[in-house]
Amino acid sequence: MAAMTLSKALSRSKSQLLTRTVPIRCMSTSTSTSTLPITIKPTTKELSAGFLGERNLEKAMRGLHEDGLVVVSDVIPHDHLDHLNNKMVQDARTLQAKGKDMPYNYNVGNIQQDPPPVKEHFESSIFLNPIANQITTGMLGPRPKWTFCSGNSAMPPEAGAQPQRQPVHADSDFAHPSHPFALVVNVPLIRFTPENGSTETWLGTHTGDLSGLQVQQGAKGTRASGRICEDLLEQRRQVRGPSQPVIEKGSIVIRDLRLWHAGMPNMTDEVRVMLAMIHFAPWYRNPMKLELSEDLMHKIRSQNDLQIPVDWVSRDEALKRYLNRGFGNSYDFGQAE
């Protein structure tokens, strides 16, 4: 009798489970066809507190798990962005003057460019944003490792030059885990539009058969690495094509490192700078370190959200070195054995 009762209960539970999961699958299928990312607008209370409430945090987690990217708007004061942008636009022109020796990514219209790692250009609202840290912690675990801080500048076309786009690629041009291990925190310093080179994104390409070396071309560490095979691009386009979303000034964009994307040409006369900071999972053994000026030591050591391994140098040394970095694919985002 007891066995019969248990069998009926299990049968009833199985039926209920099937009934409950159908709407969830339907909702997932529906949302996964959009080419535009989820955008979260924090409430005044959330902005004041410096963290998202449960509903918006869940929305961020869903965006990263399903799409590989989420946008959070209006979280960085515009004057903080303007101050840094003025300096980085000047620096971008300095790098551009190097010609073929500049640290370009795939083509000379897209420059790899570090922000100045000194106190007067380091705003916590930008580099240690508490809402960005909350989201990456929610995905990766407590105290993610921040080991990479750079940027990508889309340059206005030079006279007589044909504007070029990047090939669609993934930054994870190495054998990597199949589950989330690294998130890129992108900060646009101005409003991003298709006209000034808003990044082309291919949502939902960060997992499963779409992620890994089997979909890529190009040797690791070269400028051409990480390119997605052309036939796969056409197949994916039929399922869920790319988009070039408008990203409002003051936003942060959090992207799974594995997501397909491409830098696009800047057709305006204004340099378009986007910061790129990578937060790795606390268990991920990436050996890189930031190189920062000693005048940032107190600010870095007084925060508790992130692990931040640093090589400390004098302010003068930091200013001498930060514009002499490699191009994007020359960095090693893999993990030690």
The per-residue pLDDT for 32 is: 65
Cα–Cα distance measured from residue 195 to residue 156, given in angstroms and rounded to the nearest whole number: 10
pLDDT for residue 24 is more than 70: no
Supply 215's token pair. Answer: 């979909």
Average pLDDT over residues 277-302: 97
pLDDT at 106: 86
Q: Quick one: pLDDT band at residue 332, thresholds 50, 70, 90?
A: confident
What's the confidence (pLDDT) of residue 104?
Answer: 87
**DSSP assigned state of 213:** G
Measure the CA–CA gap between 109 and 112, rounded to whole angstroms.
10
Q: What angle do CA 24, 252, 143 make, to 5 degrees?
A: 80
Helix (H) or strand (E) holding 45: helix 44-49
22, 47 contact by CB (below 8 A)? no
Residue among 257, 280, 275, 65 nearest 57 (CA): 65
DSSP letter for 163, please: P
State the pLDDT at residue 225. 81
Residue closest to 94 by CA, chosen among 117, 113, 81: 113
> What does the block give as tokens for 157?
């076309």
pTM for this model (two decimals): 0.88
The owner of tokens 């900060």 is 187
Angle between helices 130-140 and 54-66 (to 10 degrees): 60
Does pLDDT of 22 surpass 60? no
39-325 folds as Jelly Rolls (2.60.120)
What number is the average pLDDT over the span 156-160? 85
Question: Domain segments of the chain: what residues?
Answer: 39-325
39 vs 302: CA distance, rounded Å: 31
Q: Give the span between the Cα atoms of 198 and 245, in whole angstroms.
A: 7
Q: Rounded distance, CA 86 to CA 324, Å?
A: 19
CA geometry: angle at 223 spanning 222 and 229, to 5°? 95
**Residue carrying the six token digits 């910061």:** 275
In the predicted structure, residue 336 carries a pLDDT above the cut 90: no
Pull the structure tokens for residue 72. Answer: 């959070």
Determine the pLDDT at residue 100. 84
Q: What is the mean pLDDT of the chain?
A: 89
- Cα–Cα dist 331/22, whole Å: 44
Task: Select the more confidently predicted residue: 244 or 218.
Answer: 244
CA angle 98, 106, 173 (to 5 degrees): 125
pLDDT, greater one: 258 or 106: 258
Cβ atoms of 261 and 255 within 8 Å: the answer is yes
Query: Would you say 69 and 114 are in contact if contact means Cβ atoms under 8 Å apart?
Result: no
What's the CA dihedral at 54, 60, 64, 69 to 10 degrees?
A: -170
Helix (H) / strand (E) element for 99: namely none
Task: Tell me what the mean pLDDT of segment 5-21 comes to.
Answer: 40
Question: Is 62 in a helix, a strand, or coil?
Answer: helix
Q: Is 23 helix (H, G, I), strand (E, B) or coil?
A: helix
